[in-house]
């Protein structure tokens, strides 16, 4: 009888190898080192050079996937943490507040995002499309007074990137308080009254320890 588990084991090895290459690329991206040879990437991933080309045609392809995977990881986490929130203004604020806290919790992935700000702003995966969804929904529900959705998104992304950069530059800065202050200002700009913005930013947030194992792969 043929061993039906052999193909499954091969598929699992392939998935693990690809994940190792993507993780290695994300580490290099976080360090700002993309001008490296494929050999250095494979040594970091602990795989053979020939194996690299079973998964990617060029290192540029790998780095693109690494950025996209980091963006989608953050976005999937935000989806999970806001799934039960009915108020789009609260969902928007909570996503921003949690992302601000993630800069410290996951500094390597944070640096990937910060080093590729334009991809963050214009990608159809990850945080930007989800933020746009929340802004659009909040505007349609009358919660936000937004004249231009694209500008509102650009303001949101720019504020998040600037916040992350500041948190890395000032390791003693309170990331939670800083995140809440920034998004409170955004809420005010989008027409939320001061006391309501304060209430939204004082709501309890989920405990990341409870969702890490389910989200991080």
The encoded tokens of residue 7 equal 């193909």
Q: Residue 93's pLDDT is what?
A: 96
8 A C-beta contact, residue 131 and residue 75: no
* CATH class of residue range 1-56: mainly alpha
Residues of the chain below pLDDT 70: 1-7, 9-10, 119-120, 208-217
Map out the domains of the chain as residue ranges.
Answer: 1-56, 67-215
DSSP string over 87-146: -HHHHHHHHHHHHHHHHHHSHHHHHHHHTTHHHHHH-SSSHHHHHHHHHHHHHHTTS---
Which pLDDT value is given to residue 135? Answer: 97
Give which of 132, 9, 135, 116 is closest to 66, Cα–Cα.
Answer: 116
Residues 6+ apart with CB under 8 A from 148: none
pLDDT tens, position by position, 22-38: 999 888 887 878 889 99
* Cα gap 93→96, rounded to integer Å: 5
pLDDT, tens digit (0-9, with 9 covering 90-100), for 145-183: 999 999 999 999 999 999 999 999 999 999 999 999 999
CA 27, CA 44: separation in Å to the nearest integer? 9
Q: 0.85 cut: is pTM over it?
A: no
pLDDT of residue 31: 81
pLDDT of residue 50: 87
Superfamily of 67-215 according to CATH: Tetracycline Repressor, domain 2 (1.10.357.10)
Contacts of residue 110, Cβ cutoff 8 Å, sequence gap at least 6 = 30, 102, 103, 104, 164, 168
């Amino acid at each position: 009888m043929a061993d039906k588990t052999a193909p499954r084991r091969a598929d699992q090895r392939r998935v693990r190898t690809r994940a190792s290459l993507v993780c290695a690329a994300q580490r290099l991206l976080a360090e700002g080192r993309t001008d490296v040879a494929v050999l250095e990437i494979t040594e970091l991933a602990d795989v053979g050079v020939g194996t690299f080309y079973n998964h990617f045609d060029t290192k540029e392809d790998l780095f693109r996937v690494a950025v996209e995977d980091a963006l989608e990881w953050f976005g999937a986490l935000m989806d999970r943490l806001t799934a039960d929130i009915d108020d789009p203004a609260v969902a928007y604020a909570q996503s921003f507040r949690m992302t601000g806290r993630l800069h410290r919790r996951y500094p390597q992935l944070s640096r990937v995002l910060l080093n590729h700000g334009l991809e963050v702003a214009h990608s159809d995966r990850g945080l930007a499309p989800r933020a746009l969804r929340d802004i659009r929904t909040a505007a349609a529900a009358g919660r936000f007074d937004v004249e231009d959705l694209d500008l509102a998104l650009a303001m949101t992304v720019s504020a998040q990137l600037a916040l992350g950069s500041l948190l890395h530059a000032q390791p003693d800065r309170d990331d939670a308080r800083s995140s809440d202050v920034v998004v409170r200002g955004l809420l005010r700009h989008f027409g939320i009254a001061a006391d309501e913005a304060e209430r939204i930013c004082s709501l309890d947030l989920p405990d990341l320890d409870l969702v890490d194992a389910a989200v991080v792969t």
